[in-house]
A and B are shown apart, each in its own frame.
Chain A
Amino acid sequence: MTSRLKDNMILKNISLTRGLKTIFSSLNIEFLCPGLNIIKGENGSGKTSLLMMISTLLQEDRGTIIRFGKLKKNDWLNEHILIKQNSSLSDELTIEENLKIWCGLKGWNFNTDKIEKSLKNFGILKYKNFLVSECSSGVKKKAELSKLNFDESFKLKCWLLDEPLNHLDENGKLFLKKIMDKFINMNGTILQTSHEKKINHKNFKIIKL
């Protein structure tokens, strides 16, 4: 019972404003933990803002967010990954260097084999020595999603994915589904924003904004 209480993510009476625009007012959501939560809504309905707020990049004006039994902020930062819609890779570095340095910044071990394995699974191993500025949006997206395919990523509590299926080809989508299912089976929680109508996962909860 205790472990079940700890594995919860609840938003209570949340209000959020950005500039003059009110994005949410008294929003209440209980997420499926562990499991896949698909956040749906029209453009501008605040899907990305919701993920950024859960990730602590945006500060809520009112209300409480319970992140896995009131996890401290620093622990929460080490327990989740946020993959944003736009790539967060440095144009001056190659794909391999970007991933290596990203692993290093997280305090994880970085070796070439690990990164090559992850890139190979997404089918972009041949681009590993390409500068990010030379790659197409699809390759950049796959390189970004390769961050989820490291052993350490599966040990985290939560993945926040902002429209991960954009720019992806069929193989990419299939492999992403595979690793998402693997993560959920390992008691992981995924919060994903999506516009896709067809959902291939078994257990999921749809949250409409």
Chain B
Amino acid sequence: MKINFKNILIALIEKEFKSYLRSINNFMNMIVFMIAIIILFPLTVGPSEEKLTLVSNAIVWIALIVSIIPTLDKIYISDFKNGWLEQYYYSPLLLEIIILIKCFVFWFFLIIPLTIFIPIFSILLNIPFLIIFWNIIIFAIGSLGFCLIGSICSSLTLGTKSNNLISPLLILPLAIPIFIFGNGVVEAVKSNYDPLPNLYLLITVCLILLIISPLISAYSIKIALTK
């Protein structure tokens, strides 16, 4: 029988897009969470502008990461519960490729729109424009790495009952290289050094994840399905 791989790609992207569109409250939760952190942090630090300038960049990063982590472990759970992961398993396309597409769609439709809020929050916290520009670039690249790490952790915890507790514990240690190199870029810009070496290292980490994440995720999904 003739199999049309273009149809598989279209179907997959259409499904993911429609699912995210119908569960828009997940995205709204992320934004509300971010706004809450951005508002509360300066109140606890105090009115001193110097103190705020020192921690403002960290606040934006923490707000973004903390709001993303709860959604990362939900990449596969609804598909697992309603049987769609099985349908992916039966599809003629390799499960690894399907997972890669799923991660890209998740990144593109849920995480990339968040970058729009970086300039808004950064202006509120009086961050210089040059740093805002670099923050957007680092976040766009680093968040793909986060999605791929999230894919590994989400698939590993599919069969467990209390995956809400385990996932953040698994995600944070794996995400440390992204934090270090991402922060390295900003620090280099602040002290007038070349930020590119750190940026290249960040891209390298994401490329490594791009290769290993679908392999590990597909393997653990197969285990969860056949359990």
- Chain A residues with CB under 8 Å of chain B are 57-59, 74, 77-78, 82, 84, 86-93, 97, 100-110, 152, 155-156
Measured between C-beta atoms, what is the minimum distance from B162 to chain A in Å? Answer: 19
Within 8 A of A (CB), among B69-108: 78-79, 82-84, 86-93
Tell me whether B14 is interfacial, beta carbon within 8 Å: yes
> How distant is A105 from chain B, measured CB to nearest CB, in Å?
5
Which residues of chain B are near A103, meaning CB under 8 Å? 7, 11
Q: B residues bordering A, Cβ < 8 Å?
A: 1-5, 7-8, 10-12, 14-15, 18-19, 22-23, 78-79, 82-84, 86-93, 225-226
Q: Which residues of A contact B4 (CB under 8 A)?
A: 107-109
On whether the beta carbons of A109 and B7 are closer than 8 Å, the reply is yes
A100 to B18, CA, bound (A): 13
CB-CB under 8 A from A89, the residues of chain B are 82-83
Contact check, A101 vs B14: say whether CB atoms are below 8 A apart.
yes
- With CB as the reference atom, state the residue of chain A lying closest to B14: A101
Of the candidates B14, B18, B82, the one whose C-beta lies within 8 Å of that of A88 is B82
Please state if A104 and B23 are interface contacts (CB–CB under 8 Å): no
Count how many pairs of residues, one from A and one from B, have CB atoms less than 8 Å apart in the complex: 94
Known A58-B226, A97-B18, A104-B8: A91·B89 in contact at CB below 8 Å = no
* Chain B hits for A102, CB < 8 A: 11, 87
Chain A residues positioned under 8 Å from B18 (CB to CB):
92-93, 97
Q: Give chain B nearest CB distance to A178 CB in angstroms.
A: 23
Q: A58-B226, A107-B92 are in contact. Are A90 and B5 (CB under 8 A)?
A: no
Chain B interface SS verdict (over half): helix
B82 proximity list for chain A (CB < 8 A): 87-91
Query: Are A59 and B3 in contact (CB-based, < 8 A)?
Result: no
Of B22, B82, B84, chain A has the most CB atoms within 10 Å of the CB of B82
Give the distance in Å from the alpha carbon of A110 to the alpha carbon of B10 in the complex.
11
Taking a contact as CB atoms under 8 Å apart, the answer to whether A90 and B84 are in contact is yes
CB atoms of B92 and A88 under 8 A apart: no
- Specify which chain A residues have a CB less than 8 angstroms from the CB of B87 in the assembled complex: 88, 102, 105
**Residues in A neighbouring B79, C-beta threshold 8 A:** 90
- Report the separation of the CA atoms of residues A78 and B18 in the bound assembly, to the nearest whole angstrom: 26
A77 cross-chain contacts in B, Cβ below 8 A? 89-90, 92
Q: Please give me the residue from chain B that is nearest to A78 by CB atom.
A: B92
A91 to chain B, nearest CB (A): 6
Residues A104 and B11 in contact in the complex (CB < 8 Å), given A57-B89, A93-B19: yes
CB pair B19 A92 closer than 8 Å: yes
Partner of B15, one of A87, A90, A152: A90
Q: Is the CB of A92 within 8 A of B12?
A: no
Known contacts A77-B90, A107-B2; 14 further A-B pairs (Cβ under 8 A): A57-B225, A87-B83, A88-B87, A90-B15, A90-B82, A92-B78, A93-B22, A97-B18, A104-B7, A105-B12, A105-B88, A105-B91, A110-B7, A155-B1
Q: Which residue of A lies closest to B23 (CB)?
A: A92
Least CB distance, B68 to chain A, in whole angstroms:
21
Q: How far is the CA of A74 from the CA of B83 in the complex (A)?
A: 20
Query: How long is the Cα–Cα vector from A82 to B92 in the complex, in angstroms?
Result: 15
- Please tell me if the beta carbons of A59 and B90 are within 8 angstroms of each other in the complex: no
Q: State how many angstroms separate the Cβ of A159 from the closest Cβ of chain B.
A: 13
For residue B83, which residues in chain A have a CB less than 8 angstroms away from its CB? 84, 86-89
Closest residue of chain A to B88 (Cβ to Cβ) is: A105
The answer to whether B22 and A92 have CB atoms under 8 Å apart is yes
Q: Contact at A88–B7, with CB atoms within 8 Å?
A: no
Using CB atoms, name the residue of chain B closest to A155.
B1
Q: Please name all residues of chain B whose beta carbon is closer than 8 Å to the beta carbon of A104 when the two chains form the complex.
A: 7-8, 10-12, 14
A24 to chain B, nearest CB (A): 16
